[in-house]
Amino acid sequence: MSQQSEKDNSNLLLNGNFLNGGTHWNPNSQAKVRFEEGHCALQVDALITQRVEINAEGDFEFSVRMKTDSGSACRATLELLPSNQTVHFNIGGGIPWTKQEQIVNAPAGTTEMIVTLSANDGTRGEFGSCFDFALLIPLSN
């Protein structure tokens, strides 16, 4: 599903399009995470994370494409540190590929952002939650 885009060049998330499998992403369970056709598929209770060190304040675009099978649910989370400000996107119940996006203002002193993609409901053993095009783009300096 993934394709290169101009936004990939300014994306702070490495391999946000999953074209290189799980490179730069940290799973909590290798057995419950699958990378295929340029996207990430998760089983229930699985998650992947990526930490981005920054020394900037200002606006950032956080977006991700998400999809779930019937009976599954997933969440994408952006956490800003040390403020613990968070943004959550949640979908579930057989939703086709849907882009979720939000502009986030990082307060002064923000040193790190953590993106977590997780499957929080579904049938055990099935890869019912999918993610693609995870982007974290600085909009201001």
Residues 18-31 pLDDT 10s = 999 999 999 999 99
Domains in the chain, ordered, with CATH? 6-138 (2.60.120.260)
Residues 30-57 pLDDT 10s = 999 999 989 999 999 999 999 999 988 8
What's the confidence (pLDDT) of residue 11?
Answer: 96
Please tell me the pTM assigned to this model.
0.92
**Dihedral angle of Cα 71, 34, 22, 30, to the nearest 10 degrees:** 100
Residue 24 φ then ψ, to 5° = 80, 0
The CA-CA-CA angle for residues 74, 67, 41, to 5°, reads 75
